[in-house]
Amino acid sequence: NDQDFYWKDGSLWCEDVSLETLARKFGTPLYVYSKHALVSAFNAYQSALADHPHLVCFALKANSNLSIIKLFGELGSGFDIVSGGELQRVKAAGCDTRKVIFSGVGKTVREIREALLADIKCFNIESPAELDRIIAVASELKLRARVSFRVNPDVDAKTHPYISTGLKKNKFGIAYEDAVSLYIKASQAPELEVVGIDCHIGSQITETTPFADACEKLCTLLDQLAEHGINLKHIDFGGGLGIKYGTETPPTAKELMAALRRVLVRRGYGDLEMIFEAGRSLVGNSGALLTEVEFLKSGQLKNFIMVDAAMNDMIRPTLYQAWMQIVPVTPSNDKSAAFYDVVGPVCETGDWLGKDRLLSVRQGDILAMLSAGAYGMTMASNYNSRCLPAEVLVNGEEAHLIRRRQNYEDLYRDEILLTR
């Protein structure tokens, strides 16, 4: 967010603290988030939907730090979860589990039980077998499950194949052609209350058209369901709104809502509650990953900047060939610029954060990878026995540690050393 990460006196700031100061104080690698940016991103959805019944559900998988969950909860957010662990995080953050939507293709009996006992808002069912399982668990607990089907609208979100999910060839959702018969079956089960319909077509989508197309297809199903006397309360568009990493020009929340409203109103479904499972667009631009330059190295064909962050701290570049901006937080003019690959210390050729970047840096400089607030920390691992980074939430002049850096003992705390 340009307003919350900005240049002042020759260095990069987050709200009222310089990133250089944060790196020196908390060490690196370090994830830094702007509270103001998080609040602004959430409020963009809220104001775009202000005139309609709606619920914005923060998709925890994008960033599941307890303090960030709590912040969104206080702003009125619901939550999109995909595991029992994420449900537990909502509880641990003190948030309302009745605003939880449970997505995911492989819900276990235990997870369904926990979610039913937590009285969640809705299960997004992704297969006929899952429908049977939810009926069985609800019957055992003598509870009623609110359900929706995640329908695969078969639209092309035009995003990276790993994060495109709404096509027929994907493992997600139920086939469009099977939806009506499954809805009829569900509506006849006394253990269920059929409340909604949903889809999720992919992530980092930078146009409104795929969303509007999916909406049209869901409306056609709603027409067919109504003929069978099945009337739903909500329509869930999933997540997927893209953000700007570089040259992308994603629609604003307002533009996306306008496009969806046009379809809903024209099709006669203007009164349905609108649900969004927003992840990246709520947190992506609100975070940066700070890392220190350990060494500069001239290879035979390339120059390398070895930094202390690696693929285990931020896997997006190597996993999705994602381009993420990398800048020195305090640029100086006294060295000449060169093209570098920015790489980490992990023993893999794929351990890179940026390729062919024109940078002028020296050993000890702090670099910031921008727009790293989504799918950064949540995808981090301990590979190569590297400690997970710390996380800091900036609020004006204050910087709060919201996750301490792991230490060596943390790396093997759960392991059992056999003594004979």
80 binds ligand LLP (CB under 6 A): yes
Establish whether 219 is a catalytic residue: no
Is residue 127 part of the contact set for ligand LLP (CB under 6 A)? no
User: Which DSSP string corresponds to 224-235?
Assistant: HHHHTT---SEE
- Going by C-alpha positions, the residue among 200, 223, 211 that lies closest to residue 261 is 211
Q: Considering only the stretches 4-12, 220-228, 271-279, 408-416, report the one whose residues sit in contact with ligand LLP under the rule CB under 6 A.
A: 271-279
Q: Is 12 helix (H, G, I), strand (E, B) or coil?
A: strand
Residue 389 sits at φ, ψ, to 5 deg, of: -70, 170
Residue 236 Cβ, how far from ligand LLP at the closest point, in Å?
9
Residue 305's contacts (CB-CB under 8 Å, 6 or more residues apart) are 293, 295, 296, 340, 341, 342, 343, 359, 361, 367
187/378 with CB nearer ligand LLP: 378
Beta-carbon contacts of residue 109 (< 8 Å; ≥ 6 apart): 133, 137
Applying CB under 6 A, the span of 71-79, 128-136, 239-247, 290-298 interacting with ligand LLP comes to 239-247
Residue 375 touches ligand LLP, criterion: CB under 6 A? yes
Task: Tell me how far apart the alpha carbons of residues 310 and 344 are, in angstroms, rounded to a whole number.
Answer: 4
According to the annotation, is 145 in a ligand binding site? no
Distance CA 128, CA 252 (A): 36
How far apart are CB 239 and ligand LLP at their closest, in Å? 3
Q: How far is the CB of 18 from ligand LLP (least distance, A)?
A: 28
Interaction of residue 204 with ligand LLP, rule CB under 6 A: yes
Residue type, 383: Y
Per CB under 6 A, which region of 18-26, 39-47, 110-118, 274-282 contacts ligand LLP? 274-282
* Residue 216 is labelled as binding a ligand: no
Give the C-alpha distances (Å, rounded to integers) separating 326 from 38, 254, 295, 314.
21, 29, 16, 13
Residue 278 binds ligand LLP, judged by CB under 6 A:
yes
Chosen residue from 41, 59, 219, 361 binding ligand LLP by CB under 6 A: 59
Contact call for residue 166 and ligand LLP (CB under 6 A): no
Sites of contact with ligand LLP (CB under 6 A)? 59, 62, 80, 103, 163, 200, 203-204, 238-241, 277-281, 316, 320, 375
Which amino acids are annotated catalytic? 347
